[in-house]
Amino acid sequence: MNDKLSRLANRRVCEIIEHYTKLCRPACVTVIDDSDEDAACLRRRALEGGEEHPLSMHGHTYHFDGASDQARDKAHTKLLLSTPMAFGFETATLDRQTGLDEMENLLDGIMEGKEMFVRFCCLGPTQSPFSILALQLTDSAYVAHSEDLLYRRGYEAFRTTSTPDDFFVFVHSAGALEHGVSRDTDKRRIYVDLEGNRVFSINNQYAGNSIGLKKLAFRLAIARAHREGWLAEHMFLMGVHGKPGRVTYFSGAYPSACGKTSTAMIPGQSIVGDDILYARAFDGELRAVNVERGIFGIIENVNAEDDPEIFNVLTHEGECIFSNVLITDHGEPVWTGSGMDVPASGGKHFMGQWTPEMKDESGKPVPISHKNARYTITLEALANRDPALHDPRGVRLDAMVYGGRDSDTSVPIAEARSWEHGVLLGACIESETTAATLGQEGVRKHNPFANLDFMTLPLTKYVSDHLELGRKLKKTPKVFVTNYFLRGQDGKFLNHKLDKKVWMLWAEARVHGEVGAIDTPIGLIPKYEDLVPLFRSALDKSYSREDYDAQFTVRVEAYRAKWTRMANVFNNIEMPATFVEQLHDQIQRLAV
């Protein structure tokens, strides 16, 4: 037996590897431990196998996903269920046995001629009550390499665990490759086996589809959190730095591509995580950790002015994987909104050789990078990472923010009247769709807790868990809702990108009871006179009364329409009594 496996002495791990080796028939199996040598090996293999390519900057590589594999494929991500379940929202499901049988067939020989990588990771910090161990089998060195940047290594954690049978399992195959890119994306399947705590994913490479530890593990974690009485959320985690020397931790849920990472990266604040957190009550206090240790972030509009910290990492030596950006003849990455010169001669693109004249089938110019093009880096590379990043106890969570992409209704920031009202507001996020998922963009969709894409529980249970959590806490976090995308009658955005810094500092001051608020039917909104000094100190800007009026006038008719839509949604779902009351009260407050 492989040395690393015998040192691990985990029977279940060995059986799983044996089973999938026989079934998928890889040419060889490489077991990865926590050493830097093994991490370097994955990077090398990704380059040798053509899934990544070198760039001129030391440590930088690039990867292309297929033209039809540029975002999460919701339609082919199915929950396998032994008995049908009423979720209260649309989600793709499949009879468990049918799905498992289909998978056994599709996995048969899928890795022939390829190398299978076995890697061990830990979701959440290691040696922590939050830790969940995860075993990944994949024939994609790009996937295994990305996981090294994005997750904590877990071989030692597997070796020393006191519960050796308790881990998530991910089996992935990129399927047949053509020029290093998955060829058979029309046969893409992502099957989530909740009962088996495992996920199968085949014929894809885009990280949101392929990387077991990202959204696939997240789906398993949501179901597990429900069973065990904690929360797994699609949220950033950040330190907001208010008064000198004071750090207050905030989490925030925003649908994909709606400002989540950029909020966590607000200048002067510190980032713990930008995508997924676990939160638990300990002795009446809510604590949270980042599940990950890196960022798989959207690269569009990352530039020296708007995102200086990330831009700095992307333009300096150190490990970084660029995906679906333009590569110049000099081996340099260029992307939309980078502020970089685009060479007239063009360069390499996920759709082939790109020139500025290139048009798609409908005659539209092909952008230099895909809207969902991404970078993969470690959080350690960022100067503004929070010192508590790896703290096994997590950080104390004092506030939660819910955001959406809403051009015509919600004010830039409002505070919920209570934890229960906050749960209602989180459950009623509506947001316009983006390029982070396949399908049409700009369509307003209800996206409860910005988590609908990953929800593996009926909505009523998910909401009950939030309400129940509030009962366990001595002090519940304050809840805020934000909207960075409000437009005026002329169609122009009413806010500047950086204004979110002011909203977060205002919210932080609210947590500490330092500023007042105006009680309105939709929640508590800032007073003009409290925002003026914040705009001055945070952004060195003056803030006019007209701007305030345009942004914070409650658009009563639009809000009424929103709450009518929500009433229609929830009239058809059995929800907890507290939630129904909150919804009723919200509608009543707007009626008078």
121 given a catalytic annotation: no
Residue with tokens 């909207």: 483
List binders of ligand SPV among 333-392 (CB under 6 A). none
Q: Does residue 436 belong to the site contacting ligand SPV (CB under 6 A)? A: yes
| Residue with Cβ nearer Mn ion (275 or 319) | 275
We find the least distance from the C-beta atom of residue 273 to ligand SPV, in angstroms, to be: 11
Number of residues that bind Mn ion (CB under 5 A): 2
Of 74, 114, 198, 215, the one binding ligand SPV by CB under 6 A:
215
Q: Binder to ligand SPV among 236, 249, 296, 419 (CB under 6 A)?
A: 296
Q: Which stretch binds ligand SPV (CB under 6 A): 6-14, 24-32, 207-215, 345-353?
A: 207-215
CB of 140 to Mn ion, least distance (A): 20
| 518 DSSP β-pair partners | 525
**Lookup: tokens for 375:** 């970078």
CB of 72 to ligand SPV, least distance (A): 5
CB under 5 to 8 A by kind: which of Mn ion, ligand SPV, none does 280 bind?
A: none
What's the min distance (Å) between Cβ of 291 and Mn ion?
11
Among 275, 319, 432, 465, binds ligand SPV (CB under 6 A): 275
Q: SS3 helix, strand, coil % of the chain, rounded to 5?
A: 35, 25, 40
- CB of 30 or CB of 447, closer to ligand SPV: 447
Give the separation between CA 76 and CA 72, rounded to whole angstroms: 9
User: By CB under 6 A, is residue 207 in contact with ligand SPV?
Assistant: yes
**Which one of 47-55, 273-281, 284-292, 508-516 is the stretch in contact with Mn ion (CB under 5 A)?**
273-281
C-beta closer to ligand SPV: residue 30 or 256: 256
Tell me the residue ranges of DSSP E strands in 67-217.
77-81, 93-95, 115-123, 132-138, 152-153, 168-173, 177-178, 181-182, 189-193, 198-202
Query: Least Å distance between CB 533 and ligand SPV?
Result: 35
- DSSP of 315-373, one letter per residue? TSSS-EEEES-EE-TTS-EE-TTS-PPPPTT-EEETTEEE-TT-B-TTSPBPPSS-TT-
Rank residues 191 and 543 by Cβ distance to ligand SPV and give the closer one.
191
Q: How many angstroms separate the CA atoms of 554 and 413, rounded?
A: 11
Is 275 one of the binding residues for Mn ion (CB under 5 A)? yes
Minimum distance between the CB of residue 275 and ligand SPV, rounded to whole angstroms?
5
Please name the residue that has the structure tokens 């399947």: 189
Catalytic residue among 121, 258, 320, 428, which?
258
Alpha-carbon distance of 112 to 466, in angstroms, equals 46
User: SS3 sequence, 379-446?
Assistant: HHHCCCECCCCCCCCCEEEEEEEEEECCCCCCCCEEECCCHHHHHHHHHCCEEECCCCECCCCCCEEE
- What's the CA gap between 106 and 113, in Å, rounded? 16
Residue 335 contact partner, candidates ligand SPV, Mn ion, none, CB within 5 to 8 A by sort of partner = none
Q: Which of residues 230-259 bind Mn ion (CB under 5 A)?
A: 256
Give the one residue of 63, 72, 390, 478 binding ligand SPV; rule: CB under 6 A: 72
Residues with active-site annotation: 258
Binding site for ligand SPV (CB under 6 A): 72, 207-208, 214-215, 256, 275, 296, 436
